[in-house]
Amino acid sequence: MTDFICHPAGSISGELRVPGDKSISHRAIILSSLAEGSSDITGFLRGEDSLKTLQAFRDLGVEITDNGEDISVHGVGLEGLKAPDHELYMGNSGTAMRLMTGVLVGQPFDSILTGDASLSSRPMLRVIQPLNLMGAVIDCLPEGTAPLHIRGGHPLTGIEYVLPVASAQVKSCVLLAGLYAKGETCVIEPLPTRDHTERMLRGFGYQVHRDEDRICLKGGGVLKGMNIEVPADISSAAFFLVAASIAPDSDLTLTHVGINPTRTGVIEILRLMGADIEILDERDAGGEPVADLRVRSAELKGIDIPEELVPLAIDEFPALFIAAACAEGRTRLSGAAELRVKESDRIQVMADGLVALGVQAEARPDGIVIEGSPGDQVFSGGQVDSAGDHRIAMAFAMASTRASGTIEIHDCDNVNTSFPNFVELADAVGLQIERPEPEESGEEDA
C-alpha cells in the first residue's frame, strides 16, 4: 500500500498540463465502441478507471488499439457487441459500472459487472430502479450493491424519469439505455449536472434534445465514428488551482483544461472565496470548451457555498476543503450528501483528516463546517488516512503548501485511477512528495 510523505512546500509556479478528463475518456470509449466506423481518441486518460472501461469493451468484442499516443476504436454499432466469456471487472470506477449497466441492459446476452471492495459498497439501486422501469432485469445484492447480474434479451421501453438526486452518472446510464429502447427516453434533472454524454452523442450524430432541465432521445438511431480530443481534466486541475491559491507567491498556468460550464463549479467557488484565476485563450476541442487557467496566490475568505453550485463541483470538494481551511473565517457546505457515497465518505474522511492536522472541522449529514485560518502555517504535521480515495489523498498533499511539518498520507494507491503521474507533476511545480517503498514482510507468498 502506497503512502505519500509530503514535506512543507513553498510557492507553486510554472506551467502544467494535467492528464485527460476521466469523465470524457469513459464516454469516448463507450460511444466509439457503439458507433459504426472507426474513431481516434487523443488525450485519453490512461488511468486505472478509464482503462477498465476500455478493457470491458475489448471483452465485449470491440477491437481497440493503443499506439501510446492515440486510441483507435473500431466500432461495432449498437447491435454488434458480443457476450463476454467472464465477469466484467470495473475496479474502483463508479462511472464505469453505472454507464456500462445502461449499455448492457440493451444486449441480447447476460453479463455480470463486479468491482473492488470500495465499488462493491456503493449504491447501485439509483441506476437499477429507472432501468427496471424501462423493462430491464438486473440482480444485485440485498443491499443494492454489486455484483450486478444483468439479464439480457428483455425489450426496453422509453420512460420519462425525474432524477431524485442530481447525478450525471444516473442521467447518462438512462440515456445510454434509451439508445436501445422503443420510443422516447427523457431524463429530468433537479439541478444541472455535467453534460458530456449529451454533447458527445451529438458529436457522433445522434439527436439529443434539451428543453431546460429535460433531456430526451429516441431509440433506434445510429452513432457514426468520429475523432475525439479529450481536454485536460478540471477535476485534476482543481488540486493545483487550490495549491497555487493558498501557497504564498505562487503563479501557475494550467493548460488546455476543459471548462465545460457543467464542470466549472470549482472555479466559481474559489472566485467567490477571493481566488485570482484568469481564464485565457478560450477555444473548442471536439465540442468541449477548453482554456488555459492562470492562478496566483490570494487571500481567501470563508463563504457559504451556494447549493446550486454543488453538482457542478461534486468531485472537487476534497480540494476545496483544503482551500476553506486556509481562508479567513468560516466556510459552510450543505446539500452535498452525495459526497458520503463516493469512493469514500468524503465528508467524514476529510473532516477527520483536517482535525488530525489541527483544523477545526465539523461533519454534517449533508456537508461540513470548516473554521479557516489565514496564518502562514494552517496545518500541523501529522498523519491522515485517505481511506483509499484518490481525491482525498491528492487534496491533503496540497495542504503541505501551508503546513508546519511533514504530512504523511496513507493508502494512496488509487491515485492511479485518475492521475497516474500526480507525484511527478506536483513535484515539478514546487511540491515535495515522496513515495517510500512499502516494507517487505520477509515471508514468501503462500
- How many CA atoms are closer than 13 Å to the CA of 135, on its beta-carbon side? 17
- Quote the cell numbers at residue 30: 463507450
Q: Do β-strands 156-157 and 148-151 pair in parallel, antiparallel, or remain unpaired?
A: unpaired
| Measured distance CA(190)–CA(176) in Å, rounded | 19
315 carries an active-site annotation:
yes
The one catalytic residue among 3, 21, 315, 389: 315
Which residue from 401, 408, 417 is spatially nearest to 384, judged by alpha carbons? 408
How many C-beta neighbours within 10 Å does residue 210 have? Answer: 12
Task: Give the cell for residue 364.
Answer: 454534517
Q: Are 13 and 251 in contact (CB under 8 A)?
A: yes
Torsion angle of the four alpha carbons 333, 302, 388, 95, in this order, in degrees rounded to the nearest 10 = 50
Determine the Cα–Cα distance for residues 19 and 36; give it in Å rounded to an integer.
28
Strands (E), 349-419: 360-364, 367-372, 382-385, 407-410
Tell me the C-alpha distance between 127 and 171, whole Å: 9
Q: How far is CA 130 from CA 93, 170, 206, in A?
A: 20, 9, 22
Give the CA distances from residue 50 to residues 89, 106, 137, 204, 388, in Å, rounded to whole numbers and listed in that order. 12, 22, 26, 20, 18
What is the spatial order of strands in the sheet that 407-410 belongs to?
382-385, 407-410, 4-7, 432-434
Q: Are strands 214-218 and 88-89 parallel, antiparallel or unpaired?
A: unpaired
- The residue type of 236 is S
Which amino acid makes up residue 32?
S
Q: Is 288 helix (H, G, I), strand (E, B) or coil?
A: strand
Grid cell digits, residue 247: 501557497
Active site residues: 315
